[in-house]
Structure formats: C-alpha cells, structure tokens
C-alpha cells in the first residue's frame, strides 16, 4: 500500500515491524504513524501485534530503560511518576473545538481548535528525538462486536504500553479484519524530556488536548497514567462524544452481577459513584461477581439494555487496600503475578508499601519523592512527605480475581443490565437506598443530583457539596444538558427498562457517626435485586420507593448476621424535605452554570419536584417517617 510516508517508515521501522504495519492495509493508520514519525522524530518505532513475544518485549524494554523496576516478587514491577505528576491534570486537559462550537463548550475547559493545534504541535515537534517508540493496537470492548472501538497508541513510554497491555484487550487482529478501516481512536503520547529518574522534566508544558471531532488525543510531557494512558479517560471522552452522536451511552460505571445463590439467579447492575464514594467497593462486594470497575458502554440490542466492560484490567487507587477492608485485591497484591505499582514505596527488602496497607512499613526507601526517602522527610514547602502518594496505584488484570465474571466479560453482545445504582457522599440528606419511580426520575433526581461531600480531613472545611452529575463531569465532552437528554432518551422503545436506585453509604447519625458498617452495601444491593424481581413491597416517598423494615431485618441477618433495629431503620429512612429541596436547588444552579442552553424540561422537572416536596412537607412535616407519606 502506497503512502507519502513510505520511505520514512522504512527508515524508522525494522523489517519485521514494517511487515506488521503493511499487513494491516490501512492507509489512515500508516498516515497517523508516519505523520508523527516525521513531526516527533523518534529514533525508532516498534510495531506490536497481539503475540506473547511482543507483550514480553514491551515489559523487558520498560525495565531496560528504567521506566519500571523489578520487585522481589516475580512479575511485580514499580514505576514512579515525577513529583509534580501524580494526578490528572484538569487545568491542562482541554477540548480542541472548532470556532462554531466554542460557545457551547466554554464551560468544559476548551480551546479554539487552531490555537490548540498550533500549541500542541509546537510542543510535540522533535519531542521524541533519540527515543525508541512503540505502536500498539487495542480494542475497547470485545473484539468483532457491535460494541468494539478499535484504538491505536503511539508512545515513547514503554511503561504506558505495558500498562495498556494489562488494561485493554489486544486489537491487532481486529484491525486486520475490520471493515471500516478509518473508524478508530488515535493517541499520540510523549513523556518528553526525562531526568535521571526517567520522569518528565517539563511539567509546565504538560498538555492533554482532545480532538473529539477527529477522534485523536495528544498527550505531551506527562507520565501519570491518568494523563498518559490514552485508552482510559482520554478515550472515554472521545467515546462519550461519539455515543452522543450515535445514540448509545458511555458511562463512568462499574458492571457487576448480584448473585442470589438460593434462587440460582444473577442480576446485572451498573453503577456510578464519584471518587471516594464507594464505586470500587460496591463492584467488589464479597459474594458477588465483577465484570468491570470503571467504564461501561451501553447499547440497545434487540430492545434490550446491554452493557460491556471496556477494559480488561484495573488501574486502582491502592491507598487503604488492606487485608480487612479489601481482601480480594489485597490477596492478589501479595502473590507472584504481573502487577505494576506506581508511586508507592520500594523498601530495602525490594517490596512495595503504601498508605493504609496494614503492613509493617519500613522507615526508609525509594518513593515518588526520590531515592532517599526517610520517615520525616519534608518537601520544598516544608510538608512532610508520606511513605507513598495518596493517589498511588496498582495496575492488574481483572481475571486474577476469584469473583471475576468471565462469561459476562467475554459476551460480545454484552450482558442485560436490569439495575442502575447512583451513589454520592451525603451525611444528612439521602436515605441508604431508594428506587426511582421512572427512568427519567432516576436520571434527573438520582443521577443529576449526585454530590460528593468534603470532610475536614481532606479540605479543612467539612460539608462542602461538590456537584458530580452522573459521576461523570470530568469526562463529559459535549454540553451537559444534551448529555442528560441523551441518557433519558436512550431507553425509548426498549422491552425492559432497568430500575434505577440511589444509594448513600455515608449517612451519619445524630452523634456524627456513620449509620452503617461498610458491608451494609450488600444489603442495599440485594434489596434492589429483589425489587427488580418483584419480591419486596415498598413504601412511597416524594422521590421514589424505600424498603420495609421487615425485609431489611431479614436481609441484614442473612447477609451480615446483624440484628438491624427498627430505630435504626426509622432514622435512616426518614425523608428530609428541606434537605432535598436544597439539594435540588443546588443542582439547578449547577446546570445553569455549566450549560446555559440546557433543555427547559430539566428545570421544569426539578421545579415540579420541589413543589411536590413542599406539599408533602406542609402535610406530613419536614421529616417524614417511613410509611407515613401518601401521594
């Protein structure tokens, strides 16, 4: 196949790599690789197929150049990002938007297309000079499926390529066979100039620019995976935009099966929770099964609401993963198998240690701050540097987990989703579990009102409510109102629409203590599962339906061997009118701020709901006990 970059590609690629590339017979792929081979000027480009040999080559290369280091346990490696590159860069993550669309996108951190393109290409020019680079092909979702989005990554970070090989399904064979050869996502990444620890130097020039019009993401001078791994949140933003145009959904959700062993029944749930609100712990409830913990694609297939896990691995926060609170993950971290640790401590024994691990932690070692960390060490601002970063991570394959639902994961048509969960961090408003009356209510009253409440431990000011509609605001890549409408419209014409539930694991009692143990989420899940199968009656509230005490008493005893009391139930499931009115008013204000052109019906719905709650308050009092409310 001819290409204007043929001679350059032959110069940069080995004979074997060139043959792999030409075998794809894909002119758009050739031009993508060729154009950046010319512009970024790497010393060499290695083309990967799906072979085990190429997978092993990537790992070996990451170790050889010092992007990863071997730990004591076979298969385990450690990577450090630079001290100023420890989390997603929200300021410099921008959408490159054509002038005619800029007004609608101004609240989503956008830059005018030509200006953004000129800046990112200026940064990218010769940025890979002298480096060996790698191109790898992946599939988001199962290969050769209606869900599949093929992706190609071009990077000078072998750590990034290794991480993606763990996290995503291989895609070279898919590229060989796909019919629409020009329909794929492209990612170009460079860690930029490196210091003696092989971490990025020019953090001030870190840029992550996304072109949703042409499905390409540019990431420069970045190493932290959330800024550099194109197939994760970068791809998610492209997919959200694509799904909005094509009538499907990409959501920031887990996908799991609730298992009723007595009835030999599995019921699939998806769920969205803002950071630190219980998303991963819900996906990993003991006794249930997990399909995925982060991103789901949903499609209407033959009138059924079906979903797939986009990924095949976990890029998880490791802080507080310990034998008591997260035994499934912790047990996997303790054995010899392929895991990449990032930004944790490497102790003198060459083992990894992290915050909240429950392990006997060394007083010195190497960590994100450098090779000479010791207990009490301070940074340039006089702040004590902890043993590991609070956002330290582990990268691990899902199929290591004993509760992995391989059948659900492999299903090319996805699994039928019957329940959706939305949960925030809320100390004084929402009940532990509540069912929405309708799908639209679920989106507008449960999903769009999600908030994450700060604690004094994090900001020094307790009770600040951070809006997080659908737990997805960091990644929504077109106007919020339109995105909300697309979520509502998605179920039109479906044979069976999933029930929508809200959960709240953070309700506090009158003494400021959490009302329930961490494992109580298993009870809320199984009440929701029973409601889906018409097994429980429910009391009405102004916002939906709540459990009866008699059913929760049985569920608590069955699943947790706990004697749940009626006093606990009454306090926890009281509907708090004023608090809910305030919550809805905050949601109205946030939507108006984020999208001046949001559809009017959203605000009309909230105004009607506020009026409904005001009416209930006048009739039944500000705090409505379970079973009292009548519509």
Q: Per residue in 442-461, pLDDT tens?
A: 999 999 999 998 764 444 56
The residue count of the chain comes to 631
What number does CATH give the domain 6-69+79-246? 3.40.449.10
Active-site position among 139, 277, 448, 577: 277
Please report, for the chain, the start and end positions of each structural domain, with discontinuous segments joined by +: 6-69+79-246, 251-312+407-624, 315-398
Beta bridge partners of 42: 129
Map 592-603 to HEC letters. HHHCCCCCHHHH
pLDDT < 50 regions, the chain: 456-459
Contact 79, 340 (CB under 8 A): yes
Residue 631: the pLDDT is 86
Residue 459: the pLDDT is 41
DSSP string spanning 23-84?
HT--HHHHHHHHHHHHHH-BSEEEE--S-HHHHHHHHHHHHHTTSSEE-SSTTEEEE---TT
Residue 151 annotated to the active site:
no
Residue 104: the pLDDT is 86
Task: Please state, in angstroms and rounded to a whole number, the distance separating the CA atoms of residues 96 and 117.
Answer: 7
Task: Please state, in angstroms and rounded to a whole number, the distance separating the CA atoms of residues 145 and 306.
Answer: 12
Task: Please state, in angstroms and rounded to a whole number, the distance separating the CA atoms of residues 17 and 262.
Answer: 54
Residue 604: the pLDDT is 98
CATH of the domain spanning 315-398, picked from 3.40.50.1970, 2.170.8.10, 1.10.10.10, 3.40.50.700: 2.170.8.10
CATH fold, domain 251-312+407-624, is Phosphoenolpyruvate Carboxykinase; domain 3 (3.90.228)
Token pair belonging to 419: 């329940």
- Residue 37's φ and ψ, nearest 5 degrees, are -60, -40
Write the pLDDT tens digit of every residue in 59-101. Answer: 999 999 999 999 999 999 999 998 889 999 999 999 999 998 8
Task: Please state, in angstroms and rounded to a whole number, the distance separating the CA atoms of residues 68 and 162.
Answer: 10
Q: Which of 518, 527, 515, 541 is nearest to 446 (CA)?
A: 541
| CA end-to-end distance (rounded Å), the chain | 69
């Amino acid at each position: 196949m001819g290409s204007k970059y043929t001679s350059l590609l032959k110069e940069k690629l080995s004979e074997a790599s060139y043959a792999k590339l030409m075998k794809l017979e894909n002119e758009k792929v050739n031009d993508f690789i060729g154009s950046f081979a010319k512009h970024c000027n790497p010393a060499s480009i290695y083309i990967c197929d799906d072979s085990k040999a190429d997978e092993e080559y990537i790992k070996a290369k990451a170790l050889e150049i010092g992007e990863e280091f071997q730990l004591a346990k076979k298969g385990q490696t450690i990577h450090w990002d630079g001290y100023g590159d420890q989390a997603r860069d929200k300021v410099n993550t921008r959408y490159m938007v054509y002038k005619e669309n800029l007004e609608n996108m101004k609240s989503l951190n956008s830059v005018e297309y030509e200006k953004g393109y000129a800046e990112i290409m200026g940064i990218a020019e010769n940025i890979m000079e002298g480096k060996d680079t790698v191109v790898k092909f992946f599939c988001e979702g199962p290969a050769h499926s209606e869900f599949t989005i093929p992706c190609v990554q071009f990077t000078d970070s072998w750590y990034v390529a290794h991480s993606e090989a763990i996290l995503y399904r291989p895609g070279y064979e898919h590229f060989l066979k796909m019919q629409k050869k020009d329909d794929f996502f492209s990612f170009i990444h460079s860690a930029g100039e490196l210091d003696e620890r092989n971490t990025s130097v020019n953090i001030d020039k870190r840029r992550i620019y996304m072109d949703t019009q042409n499905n390409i993401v540019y990431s420069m001078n970045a190493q932290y995976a959330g800024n550099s791994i194109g197939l994760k949140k970068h791809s998610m933003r492209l997919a959200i935009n694509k799904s909005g145009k094509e009538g499907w959904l990409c959501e920031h959700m887990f996908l799991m099966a609730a298992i009723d062993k007595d009835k030999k029944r599995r019921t699939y749930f998806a769920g969205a929770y803002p950071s630190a609100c219980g998303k991963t712990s819900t996906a990993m409830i003991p006794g249930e099964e997990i399909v995925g913990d982060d991103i789901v694609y949903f499609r209407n297939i033959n009138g059924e609401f079906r979903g797939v896990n986009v990924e095949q691995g976990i890029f998880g926060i490791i802080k507080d993963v310990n034998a008591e609170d997260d035994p499934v993950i912790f047990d996997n971290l303790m054995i010899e198998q392929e895991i990449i640790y990032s930004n944790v401590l490497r102790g003198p024994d060459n083992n990894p240690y992290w915050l909240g691990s429950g392990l006997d932690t060394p007083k010195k070692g190497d960590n994100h701050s450098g090779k000479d960390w010791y207990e009490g060490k301070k940074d340039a601002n006089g702040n004590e540097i902890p043993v590991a970063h609070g956002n330290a991570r582990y990268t691990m394959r899902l199929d290591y987990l004993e509760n992995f639902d391989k059948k659900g994961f492999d299903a090319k048509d996805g699994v039928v989703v019957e329940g959706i969960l939305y949960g925030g961090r809320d100390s004084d408003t929402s009940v532990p579990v509540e069912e929405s009356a309708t799908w639209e209510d679920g989106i507008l009253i449960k999903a769009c009102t999600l908030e994450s409440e700060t604690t004094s431990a994090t900001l020094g000011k307790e009770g600040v409510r951070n809006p997080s509609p659908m737990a997805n605001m960091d990644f929504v890549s077109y106007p919020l109102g339109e995105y909300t409408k697309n979520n509502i419209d998605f179920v039109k014409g479906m044979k069976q629409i999933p029930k929508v539930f809200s959960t709240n694991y953070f309700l506090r009692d009158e003494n400021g203590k959490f009302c329930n143990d961490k494992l109580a989420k298993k009870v809320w899940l199984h009440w929701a599962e029973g409601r889906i199968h018409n097994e429980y009656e429910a009391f009405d509230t102004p916002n939906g339906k709540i459990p009866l005490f008699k059913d929760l008493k049985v569920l608590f005893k069955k699943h947790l061997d706990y004697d749940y009391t009626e006093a606990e139930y009454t306090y926890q499931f009281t509907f708090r009118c004023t608090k809910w009115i305030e919550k809805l008013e905050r949601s109205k204000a946030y939507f108006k701020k984020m999208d001046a052109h949001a559809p009017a019906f959203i605000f009309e719905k909230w105004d009607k709901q506020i009026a409904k709650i005001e009416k209930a308050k006048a009739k039944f009092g500000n705090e409505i006990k379970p079973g009292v409310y009548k519509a």
